[in-house]
Amino acid sequence: MLELFVDIKDELQAVENELRQIVQERYQILTETSTHLLNAGGKRLRPALTLYGAKFCNFDMEKVVPLAATMELIHMASLVHDDVVDASMTRRGKPTVKAVWGNSVSTHIGSFLFAKSLILLSRYEDTPLIFDVLSNTSVQMSQGEIIQISSSFDINQSIKDYLYRIKCKTALLIAASAQLGAVACGAGRDIHLALRRYGYNIGMAFQITDDILDMIAEQRQLGKPIGGDLRQGIITLPVIYALQCCKDKKRLIELITKVEKNDDEVNEALEIVKNSGAVDYSFDIAQKYVMKAKMELKKLPDIPTRMTLGMAADFVCARKF
C-alpha cells in the first residue's frame, strides 16, 4: 500500500481480506497462484480510488469493499494475461505466475480471477450502471492489448493512436475505479462523472509515466528490466516523439524495427530517444493530464478526500516505480 493512502488503511485492509477470501478454493494450485499474485503487492491504486470516490457520498463499507476488490481482480487478471503475452519473467520485482507455473496456468488463472470478479459484481445487481461500465471497460481493455500487439514494431503510428491505446489499456479501468465507488454509494451524476473524468486523466498520466519509467528508471526500483517495451517492439510516446524530432531517425528506425535486439542495441535506442528531448516532452503531456484531473476535483465537494486525490494525481507523475 502507498503511504499516501494511510487515511483509508483500514478500508484497504478490508479489501485485502476480501481478495484473499475470494480466491480460496479446495484445489491448492488455484489458491497458491492467486495468493502469489496478491503477495506480489502492487499499489492498490484502483481499490483506493473506489474507496475515495465513495467518500463523496454516503460511504458504506459493505457497499464499497467488494467493488474495490472487483477492480483489483480485473486489474490482476489483465496483468497475468499480459505476462503470457510479454514473456515477462518478473513484475514488481518478483517472478511472474508465468515464470513459476508456465503459460498455460497463467492464461486460465487470468480468466479465473476475472470470473471471480463477476461473483463479487453479482452483489450489485440493483445498480446496472456498474455492470454496464465494467463490461464495456473489459471489452476495451482487451482491445487495447490486441491493438498494442498488432501495432508492435510499427513506426507509422501517431500520438493519437498511442493515446487511444493507453486509454483502452489503462485509463478506462482507473476511470471506472474512481467513478463506481461513488455510484455504489448512491452519488448523483455530477459527482460520479467528475470522479470518472478525474480517474481517466490520472490513468492517462499514469500510463505515460509508466512508459517513460520503462526507459529511465533503475531496474531495482522498477522491479522489472528496463527497456522492456523497446525489446518487444511496443512503440510508446517517447519513441513516437523521437521518431518525429531526433537527428538519428534512420538509425532509430533500424534499431526499433529489429525484432531481436541485443543489450547494446536496446541501450543505443534508449540513448537516441533520451537525447531527442522525448522524456521531457512526454512528462509535459503527462503533467497536462494531471492538471485536467485536478480541474475535475474542483467540481467535487471540498472534503479532505479531495486533497488526497489531488496528491494522488501528483504522485502518478512523480513516482519512480
Residues that bind its own copies (CB under 8 A): 25, 27, 29-30, 33, 77-78, 81, 84-86, 102-105, 107-112, 114-116, 118-119, 121-122, 125, 128, 131-132, 134-136, 138-139, 141-143, 145-147, 149-150
CB of 126 to its own copies, least distance (A): 9
CB of 184 to its own copies, least distance (A): 15
CB of 108 to its own copies, least distance (A): 4
* Dist CA 168 CA 149 (whole Å): 13
Distances from the Cα of 176 to the Cα of 71, 140, 185, angstroms: 8, 12, 14
- Closer residue to its own copies in complex, CB, 169/197: 169
* Dist CA 271 CA 279 (whole Å): 11
Q: Which residues pair with 91 in a beta bridge?
A: 94
Q: Please give the grid coordinates belonging to residue 306.
A: 479531495
CB atoms within 10 A of CB 153: 12
- Closer residue to its own copies in complex, CB, 135/221: 135
Q: How far is CA 91 from the centre of its chain?
A: 13
- Closer residue to its own copies in complex, CB, 118/193: 118
- Closer residue to its own copies in complex, CB, 8/113: 113
CB of 168 to its own copies, least distance (A): 10
CB of 169 to its own copies, least distance (A): 10
CB of 30 to its own copies, least distance (A): 6
- Closer residue to its own copies in complex, CB, 131/321: 131
CA torsion angle 216 221 225 228 (round to 10)? -50
- Closer residue to its own copies in complex, CB, 77/246: 77
Q: Which residues pair with 95 in a beta bridge?
A: 90
- Closer residue to its own copies in complex, CB, 28/220: 28
CB of 228 to its own copies, least distance (A): 14
CA torsion angle 224 155 253 282 (round to 10)? -60
Helix, strand, coil shares of the chain, percent, nearest 5, are 75, 0, 20
CB of 25 to its own copies, least distance (A): 7
The residue type found at 92 is: R
* Dist CA 168 CA 106 (whole Å): 22
153: Cβ contacts below 8 Å, ≥ 6 apart: 233, 235, 256, 257, 259
Q: Is 15 exposed, middle or buried (0-12, 13-18, 19+ CB in 10 A)?
A: buried
- Closer residue to its own copies in complex, CB, 39/103: 103
